[in-house]
A and B are shown apart, each in its own frame.
Chain A
């Protein structure tokens, strides 16, 4: 048993905790202000003999007659030591150079983003139901909505969804509310496999069919789409750049989709919009994204930020909170939650979505990030990703035995084919100091010999050369 375990591990669920817990029982660490004397005075006012008396509505037969079997209490010093020891068992992006992507990226987070989000006036507030007491959050979310609209070239954005995968699912629920008479959902196989799995799960019991369009060449061939799209097509979903890193033929796809009256849904990479055409410029009806890259840490997958933007005409079918500008009783400009009749707390079972709590703090972080970068910073960030990814791909593809899997333009991620067992490759490359890439065979059995590599603006030439040398050494050792 490694030394970092501070208390006995249970054999099976929850056992053995209790004895370890007992030495600290009664020692309050629970952020409670009531002293014994306060409690006595309060009970007197209530007219109860004891705190226990307050629970008499809970029948005795349903009561737990023992303490919870949870681990013993720790002081702040002990807790920090414990978490510190857990950290040592993780190899973070600071310990091994991170070339992992697939929706979560090791982009740089400017200090101002952390400073803004650390204001506890934001992070210890909740949903801004009382507008007068929440103008700070409301204005920040209005700014976020505007920044996302500017970024995407779309007319309107909401105040956030959970993350990129459920944002795709929500976009289809929204499409269904717009076109309840249509039922075919066409999704390219090059869309993030976890987003597609999420979509399938959300729609499992609703009257729609999901048709997955194969992408053997690493992108959705418009001819493939032409064969499947018809008058019953609810929407066409592509990711641009896609899960393999490649660009899709978004203009042609959007055109084919619109010819049949379907909605064009695009999942985009926010950083790529420093360079690439914006969804609003190529005809997207609903644009969604994973917003982790906009100033949010990777933290093993969440919390992240679900971005959603759409055409103005669809706004009343949009899920999630929306902040609108208005005036107060003295005519002063201010902000409120608006169009709430779409939402679950008013519409209940007829709501467009069940979302309530969203990702407010991460929308704030994204707003601070986009403001910190500005147009030139975003452009330069995107350009550094693009150029460094192309530099690395150039180094790798000349190594005998390694090739680029797809002949497509790409942005910051690309897919290489390697000889031999990919998981063994990745294990050895990690030993050499690199989280080298994603093993595509996990999701695409036919691409079992492929690795997708992501390059952010943080990667230095030395790190890129280092990874290429490590690949080279592996090939030589084979």
Chain B
């Protein structure tokens, strides 16, 4: 079905005199703006578009049809945990008793909200195997920054100014970026041939100037680094902290806990593991969990309980401060709470079992046709490589990614992690069926045998194909102009 009204911009639809939202007449006997404010403060209204309600709805509804999404397509975007987003969460988060609560209203008038948040603090501490939680960070990257600021404050408090943070070369780019803002020098640690932390390189670079070692475990290759106990021992022997990037928590819920394998601090991605949703690029929510000795440095406020009453505790003299205004991304935390409450302990474990089963099944189906450089088992995701195909037939990971779109599949994450050439990072999640995984594997196999030139021009059936990204960056057009 075609719509001819999906590609004009709002500004091109604008028609002077049209209106969607109308305001009531002013019901107070006060003069207008000119009588209330000095003339030099005032301006004419900004030149926004003028559209009617039906224009607006048709525009955004038609635009929405030009997206792939979890609700319409298999979306195996590695590292992003694109699992199904339960609809009950949307209904519950929109209840006025949750949605219409002002962040600065009194504790006494927010007891239901504070109860939920207090529960989330406890639940996330338990799943982490750690002692204290801050729900404040707005996304995973902000969680990383917050935890590293906590680490800096901890060492400052101990009068041990440590300046380096060690980060495996397979890590998300946010890790080194967060380390820089927190005032640390980011030092890369090599991966070994198995895709795990190169222990010799770690030993060579670890010293008493190291504040923290940041590890993603399972890592971005989908491998659980079984050396983790040795790693944490080594890091602790130097008095440094172990940080876990929790992007891959979907692989270990109830199986093992970061605190149990020696981690001192970590962040969650609630929009991933606890099915946020992802919102076309956020909002996320990135709570952090830490051990007791780091708890005094967490951002303020924390939810505290006194008798059966909850309150916001701002009395935290050693706190780093805050990384944003107000409490946190409460709307996402509430959805995460609903998810955990729906699953319970057994359900959370089932999530991980099936996420890992689905990933291993897809790996088993694909490994004959594509190289998987780091072994034939994985956790919740794996990284295949198109390097062989590229050399043999000039078919790249990008070609495969683009061609998958023709078949109605979102592409895997490509060209990440950087340690694998022509990487395709595939994370099916637990909310997909065997039939979907089989059909996807069949399609991958089919694409592999297609003509290279045909693939270079894929996708062939979508409304656009292969946008010119170089032109976009060289001559940036970042807004519409008349």
Contacts and interface: CB of A to CB of B under 8 A. Distances in A.
Given A31-B86, A73-B346, 15 more contacts: A28-B350, A68-B254, A89-B111, A119-B60, A122-B279, A130-B410, A298-B100, A338-B476, A349-B176, A357-B284, A359-B283, A371-B10, A372-B56, A374-B50, A390-B36
B332 A303 contact: yes
Interface in B13-36: 18-24, 26-33, 36
A335 B280 CA distance: 15
Contacts of B191: none
B266 interface: no
B125 to A, nearest CB: 6
Interface string B329-354: 11110100010111111111111011
A192 B149 CA distance: 22
Interface residues of A, number: 224
B348 to A, nearest CB: 6
A461 B356 CA distance: 59
A118 B350 contact: no
B100 A51 contact: no
A376 B97 contact: no
Contacts of B40: 251, 277
A339 B471 CA distance: 11
Contacts of A255: none
Contact of A68 (B47, B51, B299, B345): B345
8 contacts: A30-B430, A59-B229, A126-B80, A139-B63, A146-B480, A198-B324, A298-B102, A336-B472
A94 interface: yes
A354 B68 contact: no
A80 B338 CA distance: 9
A349 B169 CA distance: 12
Contact of B479 (A122, A134, A146): A146
Contacts of A238: none
A221 interface: no
Given A137-B280, A300-B327, A326 B96 contact: no
Contacts of B351: 30, 32
Q: Which bucket holds chain B's interface residue count?
A: 35 or more
Interface stretch (B236-244, B442-450, B462-470): B462-470
Given A116-B60, A346-B173, A376-B19, A165 B360 contact: no
B434 to A, nearest CB: 5
A435 B109 contact: yes
A271 B394 CA distance: 54
A71 B123 contact: yes
Interface stretch (B70-78, B200-208, B384-392): B70-78
B296 interface: no
A326 B465 CA distance: 12
Contacts of A355: 139, 141-142
Most buried by B among A42, A104, A435: A42
A344 B104 CA distance: 33
Interface string B120-143: 001101110101000000111110
A11 to B, nearest CB: 10
Contacts of A446: none
A146 B379 CA distance: 42
Most buried by A among B97, B172, B462: B97
Contacts of B473: 324, 338-341
A142 B480 contact: yes
Contact of B469 (A94, A126, A326): A326
A130 B21 contact: no
A297 B204 CA distance: 51
A100 interface: yes
Interface string A126-164: 111111111111011111011101111101110110111
